[in-house]
Every structure is written in structure tokens, then in C-alpha cells.
Structure 1
Amino acid sequence: MAKAIQKIILSASRDIPFSKLVLSQSNVRRLKAGVSIEDLAGDIARRGLLQSLNVRPVLDAEGAETGMFEIPAGGRRYRALERLVKQKRLARTAPIPCIVRDPTVEISAEEDSLAENIQRVALHPLDQFRAFKVLRDQGAGEEEIAARFFVAPAVVKQRLRLASVSEKLLGIYAEDGMTLDQLMAFTVTTDHARQEQVWEALQQSYDKEPYLIRRQLTESAVRASDRRARFVGLDAYKAAGGAVLRDLFEEDNGGWLQDMALLDRLATEKLAAEAEKIAGEGWKWIEVAVDFRYGHAHHLRRLDGVEVELTPEEQATFDALTAEQAKFEGEYEGADELPDEIDARLGEIEEALAALESRPVHYEPAEIARAGVFVSIDANGRLAADRGYVRPEDEPVPAGSEDPAADEIGGVGEAAPAAFAQRTVITIGGDQPEDDGDDEAIKPLPERLVSELTAHRTLALRDAVANNPQVAFTALLHKLCLDTFRHSVPGACLEASVRHVFFPAQSADLKDSSSAKAVADRHEAWKAELPKEEDGLWDWLAALDDSRRVALLAHCVSFGVNALYEKGDGYGGPGVSAHGVQQRIAQADRLARAVGLDMVEAGWRPTVDNYLGRVTKPRILEAVREAKGDQAAQLIDHLKKTEMAKEAERLLDGTGWLPEPLRLADSADMPDTPADPAEELPAFLAGGEGGVTADESEPLPIAAE
């Protein structure tokens, strides 16, 4: 005969007045966690008690019920109800729904309390995201949802953004095929097709890190910190219909502007409008560009204007700001960190002082009529109007010229009417990367790239020579000896000269390099000291002490430094021969050794734009292999060209690696023994037993909090 199945009897549910309930010392929860008691009380007041209390009768010494009930499971709910009673929002005799346990059962109160807490299963984060979306679809605003569930509005925005990712990717996340950090990265864009495309591409790579997902989703966009974006302004860009990608989970510094064509058009239009205003000053020409190449004005003469002095009101403001700045600096001289309000105020003072110190320059009307202005955007996203440049063809003609038209322009008489010739130029620098196909051979570097690299080296070498008068003196004497003893040619009083060398091929970042800035600053400092009239130059030079005279000599000599690579003329033409280029580079190496030039210290770093994106895949792998070893190269050799170049830029950062044109011919720039890649590479690339797996890492935060 089959044994009868014993039926389960559940504990009875009943309403017990609040005044009959007390906390039990058998409750295993001791530490505060989750929603605060205050917030829980507010939630109960709004929607009522969603879960009954688990209680047991309190027995007296003889085992009889006393009419009171203790709560081993539900203590936080009791505390919240108690707070409502104290606030007079709930009566002390209000009935509270409870599950009453039989005191004679074998299961202890501690076990009940533990079971209720550890058997509770939290919502999957995706369920939270979708639930928030349902509430919004039902008409609740983000602020209202945040208030209901006691989270910050930013958290609601994050969860709603996560719920808006492609349903295909959400399904992958639900099946644990994607981490929460990866899902967060996909929220940068709302383009579901692009999200899915990037995820599919990542399946062919070992590298699925969130930063790479963000980079691929934003590679065709412009950062809000870009000079064009700061110049145009996000409000103007959005008003024109431009879209901005935002990252709600990491600091994005304003996000990414998606429509580059629109941004360029708005920047050019705003520059042109500013140029129209400047044209009212009477300049003959104005050139407008988002950015100008390094040395764009070297062939032009700069007018010597007169700086407008501060007005009494401006001088008073300047003095007051300077005193306030000195006061703050004195008060917080020994402080490790400034208070936020003081730091902000000092920033305002510095900005105001800089504006007062940047004085406008006054030019004579006759000079304005033959000169022009370069209008562009500076590195900080502000308007840059560089006034007072005269083209060679606009120089004044000496008296008695036979060209009547030249007399009209260059004479001492009335200035010609100013003419505004606007030419909007948008410069896009750099060559397109070569298609390396499947060829694994290491091909020679493109000649254009070598020219750009050696332009960087030439500029750095100029700066180094100018800072080493002894070497500059030797270089000049070397040149004079060659002219005197080998190639002496009859000429004027003294034929020794320095021919300023320009850079026909240059990368976009050349003019922003530290070498370019150092050369320009030093040049302007000397120029400000030189006499305005040529007749007084000799006396001024004769009065200089030896140290300053040698320093000026070094500066002047440095402008003749030419370490540029160029294609040699093999047909006996006027250009330099291939042998001449070789001699130039060899002498540049000697000069670089003499001044101790280090292109790494000069600020050059391999990037996608200046090298890695311009060479073949074997060249990229060669660079990584030289700097980091074979293992690092093997970890990226499966990637496509674009991804390989980006990953190589990250791997080479800080290694001090240089391409051949930037190395000395007889020097070893690379370390003898490459660093162990496993020690420096991130876990997702290093792999192996030492790498940190997903199971070993810290648990992911729920709902991106």
C-alpha cells in the first residue's frame, strides 16, 4: 500500500495591532544596507505595506502566550512603521498584516530571519531598466521615477538609456554574453544598426574592452573639446540640427559632435562673419581658415604697431585683480589643495588679467591699406585675428619708380582704399594610408611621411641649437670654413648668411609642438628687443655683453638648420641631389649628437595620425615588436589595419619608441630587452593564468550605480 503524502500546512495570516508588536533579538540583520528607514517609511506611506511581517507569539515563563508578538523577519519594515507612528501618520492600534508562526515548530527564529534575507532574489538589472521604461511610457517623468524609488535622477537617465540599446544586444546581455560595462559603452549612440555592427566586428577580436567600443562608436564624431566645437558652441550646433553623443556612465567632457560637416560649416561661417567685422578696419586682405599651417606667415613682413596703453579704469582694475591674486596666494601658500570657491576665483582673476594684458595694437592707416590679417581659431577655441602682415607684392615702392600703379600704392600720399578679399580655407593635413593588402613585406616609409617626420626633427634641432651657443658657434664657423677654403665665391661685403628653411611637407600637429612654441617664443622675445630702425642695429649689437651676443647668434644660426628629407634630383636640375640629401642627414645626425637631441624629450609620440595610420601593417607590428616584444605583436597581428594602428598607439605610449627618420644613425633608441608584455598589458590582452578573469573580478554594480 502506497504511503500517503504528508500535506503542508502554512502559517496563518492575521492583522495584529502595531502596539502588540516588538522587535526580536533573533533577527540576523545587524548592519544597515539598502534603502534607508526614512525612505522605506515614505514608500509605505505612498503604496502601503507590500510584504507581511513574520512574527511569533511572545511566551511567558510558563510557556503561555502574552498577547505580544516578536518580529524575527521584517525588522526594517517595523522600524519604518514605527517612524510613521511617531510622525502621527499611522495609529498605534493600526492593524498590521502578519504571518504568525507556531512557536512549537522545530525551525528557529534565527533560521527564519536568515532564510527570508538570503533566499530573496534581486531583479536582473535588465528587468530594472525595462521596468523604468514602462513607467516612463505610462507618463511618469524622470524626476518622478527617481523620487518614487529614492535614486538620483541621473541614475534614472542611465537606466532608461540602457533600456534603449538594441534589443538584440539586450538579449545577449540577458544571456550573460555581454558584461554590464560593455552594455554601458553601447549607450553612447542610439543607432541600433551601428551598435550591432560594432558588436559583430568585436567578435573577431580578443579586445572587447568598453573603451574600444566607445572609440569605434565615436570615431566619426568630434569631441566637444575640439577647438571648432568650442568656437561654435554646443547651443549653436544643436540649434542648427546637429546631434551630440553623450556618455552617461563616464566623464565625456561634453560628449561628441556627430555631424562634422555641419560643424566645419558653422565654424567657417562664424569665422567669415568675424572677418567681415575686421574688414571694417580697412585691411587690404583677410585670409580665413579654421587652422593655418606652421610657418604660413614666414614669407611676409610683420608691421610694427603700437600697443594701446591701459586706460585709467583698466589700470585700476588690473591693480585690484593683481592685489587680490597676491592675497589669495599668500593665504594659501602652504595649502595642499585650494577650496573650490578660491580655486574658481583665482581662475577668473587669471582670465581677466590675461584679457587686460593682451592689448590691441594700433597701426597707421597707410600701413593697414597694404597689409592683411589671418583669421582662425586658437587652441582654446577662441577667435585668433593675427593682424599686420604685408605681402612682398604689396611692399611700398621706392620713390621714382617707373611703374605708375606701384607709385599709387606705395607712395607717401593718401592710402589706397582698403579691400576685403575673403578666402575661406579649410586645411585637411596628412596623406591617406597606403593599402597594404595581404603583403607582409616591410615596405619603405612613404616619402611624404619621412618629410613630415624630419620636419619635426628639424624644428626640435633648431630649438636645441639655439639653446647651445657653443655648438651654434661651431656650426657657423664650420660653414664659414667651407665657404672660405673650399667654395669661396666673390660677392658683397660679407656673403655669410642664414637662409630660413621652410617645411613644404608637414603634419597638422607640427605647429602645436613644444619645439615650435619654444622657437616662436624666443623669436618674439628677441624681436621685441631689436631696434626698430636698421641704422641702430650695429650699435645695439656692439653694446651687448658676450653671453647675450652668443645667445642671439645661436638663435639666428638655428633658423638655417635643415634636417629635412626630400627626394633627390637625379637629373642634374636646380634641386638638391640624392647625395646632397644624404650629406644633409649625416650632418644633421652629427649636429643632433652635439646638442644631445632626444626626440622623445622634444615631445614626439607615435600616434595613428602622425605615423601608425600612415604605414603598412608589417611596419606597425615591427614597431610594437621593437618596443614591447614578440608577444605583444602577436596579440594584435590578427586585427584589421585601423584597429591595429589604434591598439599599437596605446601599446607604444610611454615606451620611447621612434621611427628610423627620428633616430640617430648610430644610436640604439630601443631597450636591449623588451619589457615583459604580461607585466604591462591589460588583462584582456595579457591572458594566461595570471590574467584576471570575469569570474575573479569584483561583482558588477547593479543598474550602473
Structure 2
Amino acid sequence: MQNAVEPTADRAAIQYVPYARLARSPLNVRGKAPTGIEALAESIAQKGLLQNLAVHELKERAKSPCLGVCAGQRRLAALDMLYEQGRITKDYQVPVLIVSEGEAVAASLIENREREPMCLADECVAFRLLSEEGKTTGHIAALFSIPEVAVRRALKIANLAPVLLDLLRDDKLDYEQAKALALADDHATQERIWNDAINAWQRRPAELRAAITREEIDTRDNALAQFVGLEAYAAAGGRVRRDLFSDDEHAGYIEDAELLYRLASDRLIELSQTVAAEGWQWTECRTRYDAMEIMRHGRIASTTRKPTKKEKTELAELIAMRDNAQAELDAYYDDDSEPDEARQERLEATATAATYAADQYAERFETFDPEDMKQAGAFIYLDDEGRVCIERGLVRREATPGALASASPVGSAIPNAVRAPKERPLHGEKLCRRLTAHRTAAVQIELAQQPGVALAVLMQRMIPVVFDDVYARSYIDHAVKIELHTSRDALVSNADDMAGSVAWKALEGERAKWARMLPRRVEELLPWLLEQGEDVTSNLFAFCVAATVDGISSADRPHAVNEVANTLAVDLSRYWKPTRAGYFAHVAKDQIAAVVSESVSPQVAGELRGMKKDDAAATAELRMTDSGWLPEVLRNREVPERVTYGYREDDDEEDGVDTGAEADELSETQAGSGKEDDEPH
């Protein structure tokens, strides 16, 4: 037993005195109220007082004066609690070391100032010793007033190999690394993983965890695991490597992927039998959504029944929840402040769940004709979150001609059809507008240098407007957007780093050149133009067309400006560089690491993961500025599909298609198909 102070020559022995003689000393230097008294009282009740108190005699005229406790205020408070609870009496013997009044302040100061916190490794090992004595985790948790999960986590750390525990004691292994290594149950694997991690980046917790679970499935990111559930998987004999250090109660790693797949397939087959009982000719199951496979099918017509008053109210509430969740997520994407990955995941999960709930509720109102159902079927599949989705009313291409005649392409607008799971946007709306502003500037400067292409681009937009009787049924948005306003302000407002770009500097140089040549008064403009040669007017025309091109977009999707970029063979890497201000400061640190891993090396990416966000962004800029790498938004050179509403007159003449009701029906089918015809309209 260690005393609170060194024993003095005349009073070296520990004495036992009745609890009734003890009182709080006015010389105790700790003024702050003690905490954790309940746990300490419980410990004293079960184990006794393991450490003596330091006391001094109080100045009283009594045969047995009270003893003031100058060191041991928490222990005295715990004894007071036990006495109030009737668990000890006034005669309860308490070990004390009596010091002089002059030594009292020193004793109090030494105990409160010089006490060294217990080493984490030693504390975990102590918990293990209690467990080996037969104490349950619940008993240990109650003894120290901590959650049971904290005890289980400590026991997991205590299971580390002795050599690793020694490293933890010597601060050569930190707690986060210990948590990762604790995923492995055997000491040999723990030591091998640590010793194989030669470089500093390999010893980061995420890398250690990945090395241990390389062949296993992380339940938090796997749709099948979410669908089957850990309990069902474990009940079937599957082994789960639990991650006790995650706040997610479902966190863990599945070792038997084949068993997981079989359990998911069996459950989907059971669900498909329920769907087949509705009257469908066939049903098929998929463990994931395959848009291309489903799009190869037609779809029979459906009707939507009117919901009841109660159903309308419930659906309205679900839609409101969905819209609010999506609005919060959009607000987060538009916020340029430091990314909060935990908040982003929470908002995305809430928005996805709310959308799914609204879609599932609305699905109940869709009905099909029983006769049509005999020639059609349904797909049962899982979305990215492991939720069951059903696509009903699909017709196979090899089905009977009658069925195909009444079937519309899957792409047609059916309001209550189950939509494909919405993918998380890799880049938020603000970043997309920033990047596409740079794309627009690059297209503008190259277009300004080719008058012939500029003329064609403008005419492509003008002709369908002028010849509206010929092109009235064409969806004109496949052409680049050109209006009589300059997009100059929009470029700057959406990309605050625009002033430093190569394209912007070239555009502003061209603008300044033409501004010097143009007449000052607007009434002089037409006469001046008529006097100029063809080279001047054609180049000025190209610059003006280019300056009005607007290719800014809030999402990464096919865009009409890409057709111009492809025509001009614009190399966007000449005009845009991956810089801290222009890109890395606007994405999460994981995305920075992914980009560097793709363009530089996984080793360098690993080093970034241990840095703060700003440092990682600055380092990535140094590594990547001249790499030629482009984000997905700028790599995407797709153009929108050309969609035509209605029918072609030459088809009318050849096939005798009536221009009445049959034409209207054909118009609806073509509008849904999104299929490009061989000839322009």
C-alpha cells in the first residue's frame, strides 16, 4: 500500500480510526467538488479502502479531537455516501496517516499534483485480470461506472500481443493503431501485420485495418450485408469479425462471401414468389440494379388509382419529409465550408431513406390489367443500401407481338415506376458550376478562333427557330445554348479562380483588342461594320458568338457544349489545372487521396490521409498541378440525346400512318424512347 506522503519520523505508522472522527480539513487545497463518487463508493463497499487518508488533528477541546482529511477528499466523500446509505457505521475503521498541521498543506498538494494517470495498457490488462477472476463485464462496468462497451473494448485491447502492449506502454503504438490491430484475434497475425507495415503510412489505422480485413466484406458498405443482416448471417454459421470500436452497432467484417450471397439469393427468391403470386408471367431476382438490362425490356401500360383521403395525407407527409431531407443535403453540397464527412453520410442516408419511403408508398397506387400481366413480369433487386426494389410490368423482347404492341419502352415517363437508386454525386452543385465555367471559357476561346465553326454553331440554334414549321417537333436543347447576353459575369461568379486561367486571360485579351477597334458610339456601329473587310467581321463574329455560349451546369451530366468542344477537339487540360483553390479545397479528404492515388501513387495518397485537410490539399496541388488530370465533370464529353416528339412526314407517306389518334399514340411512344432517328427533323 502506498501512502499519500512519506511517513515522518515520529508518526510513521498507519493507524485505524473510526469513521466518526473524520472531517474535511480546511487545509485541503482541492477546491473543486469531487466527481465519480458513486463508483468509488461502490468500489470501497466491495474491496474496502485500499489507500489510506492523510489527516491532521483539528484544534478542538475534546478528549478525541476530530481528524481533518487533508489528502483523500474523494475517499472521504465516498465514505460519507456509504454512511448515508446505511452501508457503514460510525465505528467503521479507516486507515489514516496522521501528519502535523504544518505538513497538511504539503500532503494535500503532493497527492493532488503529483498523481500520475494510469497507463492505458495497464488499465486494460487490469480489466482482463478482473475478467479472469470471474467478474462479468457488467460487474466491472458497474464497479467503475462506465458503459459495458467500454469494458469490452478494454478487454479487446488487452488481447493484443504482449510485445504490442509493451509498445503501447512506451508510446510507440497509439490507441487508434491498437484499435485497428485488435481486429485480429490471434497474436501471430497482429504481430505480422505490424511488422509488415514498414513505412509510416502503412501503420496508419486505416491501412492496418485494411490489411487485416483484405479478403472480408465491410458490412457498412455492402448492400447484401445490409439486406441479410449480421444476425441472420451469424445464425447460418457465418463468422463475423466485430469492430467493437465503431459506434455503429452493425459494424463488422463478413468472412464468408459465398454464404452471404446464398442467403441473399434465397431471400430474394422467396420475395419473388410473393410477387409472382400477383399474376405475373415471370419474375427474376438480381442482387444489384442493372439499368441496361432493365432498359432492354418493354413495359405494359398501367393505371393509377386514386388514393384515399388518409393515403393522400400520409403520402403528402412522406413527400414533405423527402423534400426537406433533399433540401438539407443540397444545402450541404452548396456550402463551401470545411467538409464534414460524418454529416454528409448522415444527410445522404436520410435523403435516400426518405425518397425510398415515398416511392414505396406511391407504388401501391399503380395497377395493371390482369390480361397484360400474363405476358409481362417483374424484376426484384437490391439498391445500394440493401433495400428491396421491384420493377413491375416489364416485357421481354422475345415476347409475343401482341404484348410488344401494347408495351412502351422502359424509358417512357411512368410516374409511379420504381426509380433506380439515386447515386451520390461525386461533386456538389457549386463545384460542378465552378468546373463547367472553366470548361465554357476553354470552349469560348477556341471557338473565337474558328469563325466557320462559330457560324455553324449559331445557325444550329437559329434555324429551328426560324423554320419552326419544319422543326417544331424537335427538342432543341440538344443544341448549345446561345442567347443575346454575355456569359462573362456568370463565369466569374461561379469560379472565383477564373481570373488566373489561361482561357480567361486569352478571352480578356481578345475583348480588349476588339474594344480598342470598335467605335465609341452605338449609332456608328453599323456603318463601321459595313466598312470592314471579311477577315475583321468574321473574327469579330466568332468572338461574339463565343462570348455568348453558356455551358455552366450544376451537375455532371451530358451537355450540349460538349458537342462544340468535341468539334473543336478542345484539350481541357491546357486550360484547367487541379489546384488547391480550384478543386482540392472543395472536396473531401478521401477524394483528394483517391485522385492522388490515381494520378501519382497509392503511397503518396496514403501519406495524405494522415494530414489535415488544408495540408493535404496543398500537398496534392504540388503533386498534381502539371499532371494533366481532369475531374469527371471535365472528362465527361457526352452530349444529350436528340429527342423528337411526334412522327415524320415521310414515314406517313410510306406506311400510311394516320395523323389522328394513331399519330398521337406514336408521338407518346417516341417521346418516351429517347431514340435518335436516322434523319434530321
For the aligned pair, the TM-score class normalised by the smaller chain equals 0.5 to 0.7
Match of 2:269 in 1: 272
The within-5 A match list for 1:212-291 is: 212-220=207-215, 221-252=217-248, 254-259=250-255, 260-291=257-288
Q: Aligned match of 2:75 in 74, 77, 86?
A: 77
The change in CA–CA distance for 1:308 and 1:199 in structure 2 (over 3 A counts) is farther
How many Å separate the matches in 2 of 1:205 and 1:480?
Answer: 62
How many Å separate the matches in 2 of 1:120 and 1:604?
Answer: 42
SS in 2 for 1:162: helix
Match of 2:146 in 1: 151
How many Å separate the matches in 1 of 2:109 and 2:588?
Answer: 62
Deviation at 1:28, TM superposition (A): 1.9
The change in CA–CA distance for 1:77 and 1:172 in structure 2 (over 3 A counts) is closer
Deviation at 1:22, TM superposition (A): 2.9
SS in 1 for 2:15: strand
Which runs of no fewer than 5 residues in structure 2 stay unpaired? 1-7, 328-348, 407-431, 441-452, 464-469, 476-556, 610-615, 638-681
Match of 1:190 in 2: 185
How many Å separate the matches in 2 of 1:347 and 1:606?
Answer: 21
Match of 1:539 in 2: none
How many Å separate the matches in 1 of 2:42 and 2:106?
Answer: 29
Q: Aligned match of 1:586 in 561, 566, 585?
A: 566
How many Å separate the matches in 1 of 2:76 and 2:631?
Answer: 76
Deviation at 1:243, TM superposition (A): 2.9
SS in 2 for 1:384: strand
How many Å separate the matches in 2 of 1:197 and 1:607?
Answer: 30
Deviation at 1:41, TM superposition (A): 2.9
Match of 1:536 in 2: none
Match of 2:656 in 1: none
SS in 2 for 1:108: helix
How many Å separate the matches in 2 of 1:60 and 1:411?
Answer: 108
The change in CA–CA distance for 1:240 and 1:156 in structure 2 (over 3 A counts) is same
Match of 1:200 in 2: 195
The within-5 A match list for 1:213-612 is: 213-220=208-215, 221-252=217-248, 254-259=250-255, 260-310=257-307, 312=308, 315-319=309-313, 322=316, 354-359=359-364, 361-396=366-401, 586-587=566-567
Q: Are 1:309 and 1:359, in contact at CA under 8 Å, matched by a contact in 2? A: no
Which runs of no fewer than 5 residues in structure 1 stay unpaired? 1-6, 334-343, 398-408, 413-456, 466-470, 482-492, 499-557, 564-582, 625-631, 638-646, 668-705
SS in 1 for 2:292: coil
Q: Are 2:24 and 2:70, in contact at CA under 8 Å, matched by a contact in 1? A: yes
Q: Are 1:225 and 1:253, in contact at CA under 8 Å, matched by a contact in 2? A: no
1:387 is aligned with what amino acid? Answer: R
Identity percentage of aligned residues: 25
Match of 2:171 in 1: 176
How many Å separate the matches in 2 of 1:85 and 1:193?
Answer: 51
How many Å separate the matches in 1 of 2:204 and 2:220?
Answer: 23
- Please give the per-residue CA displacement for 1:220-266, whole angstroms capped at 9, x wherever unaligned: 32233432222222221221222333333343462133232322222
> Which has the larger displacement, 388-397 or 265-274?
388-397
How many Å separate the matches in 1 of 2:368 and 2:12?
Answer: 97
- Please give the per-residue CA displacement for 1:85-110, whole angstroms capped at 9, x wherever unaligned: 3444433344433222356xxx6221
How many Å separate the matches in 2 of 1:345 and 1:663?
Answer: 26
- Please give the per-residue CA displacement for 1:57-89, whole angstroms capped at 9, x wherever unaligned: 33569xx98733332222332333233334444
The change in CA–CA distance for 1:389 and 1:559 in structure 2 (over 3 A counts) is farther
The within-5 A match list for 1:607-686 is: 619-621=599-601, 659=629
- Please give the per-residue CA displacement for 1:173-229, whole angstroms capped at 9, x wherever unaligned: 233321122112223343544433331232223453323333443443223343222
Match of 1:24 in 2: 25
Q: Are 1:290 and 1:377, in contact at CA under 8 Å, matched by a contact in 2? A: yes
The change in CA–CA distance for 1:91 and 1:283 in structure 2 (over 3 A counts) is closer
Match of 1:12 in 2: 13
SS in 2 for 1:295: helix
The change in CA–CA distance for 1:133 and 1:396 in structure 2 (over 3 A counts) is same
SS in 2 for 1:99: strand
How many Å separate the matches in 1 of 2:129 and 2:357?
Answer: 50
Deviation at 1:377, TM superposition (A): 0.7
Deviation at 1:50, TM superposition (A): 2.0
Q: TM-score, normalised by structure 1?
A: 0.53
Count of aligned pairs: 460
How many Å separate the matches in 2 of 1:216 and 1:161?
Answer: 18
Q: Are 2:318 and 2:358, in contact at CA under 8 Å, matched by a contact in 1? A: no
Q: Are 1:318 and 1:356, in contact at CA under 8 Å, matched by a contact in 2? A: no
Q: Are 2:303 and 2:366, in contact at CA under 8 Å, matched by a contact in 1? A: yes
The change in CA–CA distance for 1:11 and 1:214 in structure 2 (over 3 A counts) is same
Deviation at 1:159, TM superposition (A): 0.8
The change in CA–CA distance for 1:115 and 1:252 in structure 2 (over 3 A counts) is same
SS in 1 for 2:58: strand
1:16 is aligned with what amino acid? Answer: V
Q: Are 1:58 and 1:66, in contact at CA under 8 Å, matched by a contact in 2? A: no
Q: Are 1:321 and 1:349, in contact at CA under 8 Å, matched by a contact in 2? A: no
SS in 2 for 1:388: strand
SS in 2 for 1:98: strand
How many Å separate the matches in 2 of 1:46 and 1:244?
Answer: 37
The change in CA–CA distance for 1:158 and 1:309 in structure 2 (over 3 A counts) is same
Q: Are 1:562 and 1:588, in contact at CA under 8 Å, matched by a contact in 2? A: no
How many Å separate the matches in 1 of 2:169 and 2:265?
Answer: 47
The change in CA–CA distance for 1:98 and 1:299 in structure 2 (over 3 A counts) is closer
Deviation at 1:317, TM superposition (A): 4.2
Q: Are 1:59 and 1:66, in contact at CA under 8 Å, matched by a contact in 2? A: no
How many Å separate the matches in 2 of 1:606 and 1:588?
Answer: 35
- Please give the per-residue CA displacement for 1:641-675, whole angstroms capped at 9, x wherever unaligned: xxxxxx99x969xx99974696869x9xxxxxxxx
Specify which structure has the higher proportion of helix: 2
Q: Are 2:272 and 2:380, in contact at CA under 8 Å, matched by a contact in 1? A: yes
How many Å separate the matches in 1 of 2:588 and 2:14?
Answer: 76
